Chain A
Amino acid sequence: MTTALRTHELGKRYGRSRHWALKDCTLDLPTGRVVGLVGPNGAGKSTLLGLAAGMLVPTAGRIDVLGEAPSSGSEHLARVGFVSQDAPTYRGMSVADHLRLGAHLNPRWDDALVRERIDRLGIDPSRRTGSLSGGQRAQIALTMAIGKRPELLILDEPVAALDPLARREFMQDLMEAVAEQDLTVVLSSHLVSDLERACDYLVVLVDSQVRVAGDLEELLASHRRMTGARRPSDVGPAGHHVVTASHTDRQSTFVVRTGGPLVDPSWDATPLGLEDLVLAYLRGDASYERPRPTVEVVR
């Protein structure tokens, strides 16, 4: 499998700060996926994405993007599209100027695609981007990033500042682009609901470290909430990896990554939704062990 983004013990400190914005981050993201990067504010999501886009230089460790070090040259930059959190546009410039600039700077610029998208968005190309709504500016930034025909598209909190309708329209446009082009997408959000339908791969980042990473469906299939009579300690159901544990005087509840079939009838096992799965990893302090070679999900 080819790799879109691979990091090894990647770390970043800003300036002379002693604080690690990202620490010991080891990841391997496959191509052809829509990867959701989730974590609370300050977990290091923007730092990781900035490093991947070649906007930041690592303090420690290694990072490869599409098999090369980021910022290894303009040719490599052309393969990566990046939209940072504030959907940057030049506010004094018109939409048409942006498109001319894009065409000038990007060797693989797809002018027909870009014009078609702007046309459908119903935005007058002569307008300055400073006079557009936040949603329209986000769409222009996405269109610019897609127009350069990248192999990897990195979006940092793309919909955080948008209202529900603009959010929906943005995600519709993004999913259409994924269907049309051979595109890997990595997008971050602190809201799981933004990612639920769009992503097929999940990375949970907490306190600058990766808590869990994997195929979304496999993760959902391999995690269960197990409830049963109160157990004496945090030792969960045998053979399963405990993510979180909680107890009342009568009952014990564990969220586990299953290590085999669920046979013990003294436990009641129910599947988890994406939101609960993410919350379990945000709350739990157990780190995720990488699973053994993927087990085929039996239906």
Chain B
Amino acid sequence: MIEFHLDSRSGVSAYLQLVQQVRRALRLGLLSEGDQLPTVKDVARQLAINPNTVLKAYRDLERDGLVAPRPGVGTFVTRTLTDNTLAAHGPLRTDLQRWLSKARRAGLDDESIEALFMTTFRAASEEDIA
């Protein structure tokens, strides 16, 4: 079982924070297939939050095929998000570090590096979609 936390100053809606926390738990392997999510009533109580917000988050996860409700029992994980890419993280990080030092040598400051990365990342994601 996981426990939810809400950051009221993050600017992210409560419903989205719940969705993100489940997804993160699935990615980190904290939740796996067959695990039960806290009941809507328990989350509403624990966070003093509108139960409809919890329902909405769970429905969203259901739509993504990650969880399924069992009537009268609760909501259960049906799929995990852990993957086999962990092995590739090391080499990719080395590449990225090399690229970062190159960017610094070229005179880019933190803000410019971040902006360049984000615009390139977004452009690449859009190309993938198109």
Residue of A nearest to B51 (CB): A179
Q: Are the C-beta atoms of B8 and A179 separated by less than 8 Å?
A: no
Q: Which residues of B contact A174 (CB under 8 A)?
A: 48
Q: Which residues of B contact A193 (CB under 8 A)?
A: 8
**A40 CB within 8 Å of chain B:** no
Q: Are the C-beta atoms of A197 and B14 separated by less than 8 Å?
A: yes
Q: Are the C-beta atoms of B45 and A176 separated by less than 8 Å?
A: yes
Q: Which residues of A contact B51 (CB under 8 A)?
A: 175, 178-179
What's the Cα separation between A217 and B51 when bound, in Å?
14
Q: Are the C-beta atoms of B44 and A179 separated by less than 8 Å?
A: yes
**A172 CB within 8 Å of chain B:** yes
**B101 CB within 8 Å of chain A:** no
Residue of B nearest to A193 (CB): B8
**Most-contacted residue by chain B among A171, A179, A197, A273 (CB, 10 A):** A179
| Chain B min CB distance to A135 (Å) | 14
| Chain A min CB distance to B27 (Å) | 22
Residue of A nearest to B41 (CB): A179
Q: What 10 A-B pairs come out closest when comparing CB atoms?
A: A179-B51, A171-B48, A179-B41, A176-B45, A175-B44, A179-B44, A172-B48, A197-B49, A172-B45, A200-B50
A175-224 interface with B by 8 A CB criterion: 175-176, 178-180, 193, 196-200, 217, 220
26 contacts across the A-B interface (CB closer than 8 A): A34-B50, A172-B48, A173-B45, A174-B48, A175-B44, A175-B45, A175-B47, A175-B49, A175-B50, A175-B51, A176-B45, A178-B44, A178-B51, A179-B41, A179-B45, A193-B8, A197-B8, A197-B48, A197-B49, A197-B53, A198-B48, A198-B49, A198-B50, A217-B13, A220-B13, A273-B11
Q: Which residues of A contact B44 (CB under 8 A)?
A: 175-176, 178-179
Q: A220-255 toward B: CB 8 Å interface, digit per residue (1/0)?
A: 100000000000000000000000000000000000
Main SS at interface, chain A: helix
Q: If the complex has contacts A178-B51, A200-B52, are A172 and B46 also in contact, measured as CB distance less than 8 A?
A: yes
Main SS at interface, chain B: helix
Q: Which residues of B contact A91 (CB under 8 A)?
A: none
**Most-contacted residue by chain A among B8, B46, B50 (CB, 10 A):** B50
**A108 CB within 8 Å of chain B:** no
**Besides A168-B48, A175-B48, A217-B13, 16 other A-B contacts (C-beta < 8 A):** A34-B50, A172-B45, A175-B45, A175-B47, A175-B50, A176-B44, A179-B44, A179-B45, A180-B41, A193-B8, A197-B6, A197-B14, A197-B53, A198-B48, A198-B49, A198-B50
Residue of B nearest to A33 (CB): B52
